[in-house]
Structure 1
Amino acid sequence: MSYDDIIHMKHPTSPHHPRMSMNNRAAQFAPFAALKTHVDKISEAGRLTTQKRILDEDQRQILNRVLSDLLIHKKEYPFITVDYFVEDEYKEGGSYMTVRGQFKDIDEINKRVILLDKTTIPIDDIYHISNSLCKAD
């Protein structure tokens, strides 16, 4: 299809109405952006979160014993598996994550477990930890 007959014509301009600014032209499409926000809110409302589980005294003692064993054997960089709670940024609650890696140390000031790959996990958020030295079940 050839447009030779119109390609060099001047753009039509109304003698009665001024040209619309780019901002006003863009504003014509703003209602579609509102629909996207509404869909996002519906998706967010449907996303489930979990409440943080509180360790009882026995579970806390087991966790402390495992952390002490890890400190004793830290030069061996034992492999560990940690289940811990991650607070949700937008809603009440959060979710549980599992991370596997080699134990490096404990940051006692900030109360965090440090893995060899520099991952850090807040000790207060740990629900369960097991390692290659012993199991904490």
Structure 2
Amino acid sequence: MDKKQWEAEKKQFNDTSRYNDIMDVPRHVSKAHLPMPQIDRAGQFAPFAALTGYKELLDQTAKRYRNKDYLSHSQLLTLTKQIKKLSKIWPWPLVTVTYFNGQNGYYEQYTGQLVNVDWQRQRLRFRDGSSVVIRNLKRIAVKNG
């Protein structure tokens, strides 16, 4: 840092002349409100206390998702085309899907009658009310029966 820059910073941060009019004014003490207890004062400076445990939650989620095999773009396109073909079959087919369960961190199989493809929410919906997220699918096959 050169001398000119140092002088400018010194003047900017050490010049208190702008506050001369209030320097000797006594500190205001409210007559209407009691002073805040010292133990409560620290709370106003801890706005992120609500995030306590957030890192642990993220670590648990990461641990569950370490088993997930993410589909490539081409694999996802192939799966999407397959779902579009299945959605045109009437009556809706009985299918077996292999999908990643984000709750337990493992792949599971489910067999059920497909009744709806919710493209907006990216879910396959089945007759019994269950649904599977399309992005969590690994495989889908029509059940012969």
TM-score, length-normalised on structure 2? Answer: 0.50
Contact preservation (8 Å) 1:107, 1:113: yes
1:118 match? 129
Unaligned runs of 5+ in 1: 1-47
- Pairs within 5 Å for 1:27-42: none
* 1:68 aligns to 2:79 (yes or no): no
Cα distance in structure 2, aligned partners of 1:104 and 1:128: 18
Q: CA offsets per residue over residues 9-31 of structure 1, 9 Å max, x none?
A: xxxxxxxxxxxxxxxxxxxxxxx
* 1:56 aligns to 2:67 (yes or no): no
**Structure with bigger gyration radius:** 2
2:102 match? 87
Cα distance in structure 2, aligned partners of 1:100 and 1:88: 19
Unaligned runs of 5+ in 2: 1-62
1:101 to 112, 120, 125: 112
Q: Which has the higher contact order (CA 8 A, sep 6+)?
A: 1
Q: Which runs of 4+ in 1 moved over 3 A?
A: none
Q: CA offsets per residue over residues 83-107 of structure 1, 9 Å max, x none?
A: 0001246xxxx10010001111111
- Pairs within 5 Å for 1:19-30: none
SS of the residue aligned with 1:76?
coil
1:128 match? 139
TM-score, length-normalised on structure 1? Answer: 0.53
Q: CA RMSD in A?
A: 2.1
Q: Which amino acid aligns with 1:64?
A: T
Counting helix residues as a fraction of each chain, which structure ranks higher? 2
Q: Which amino acid aligns with 2:102?
A: E
Number of equivalent positions: 81
Percent of residue pairs bearing the same amino acid type: 23
SS of the residue aligned with 1:124?
helix
Cα deviation, residue 79, structure 1: 0.9
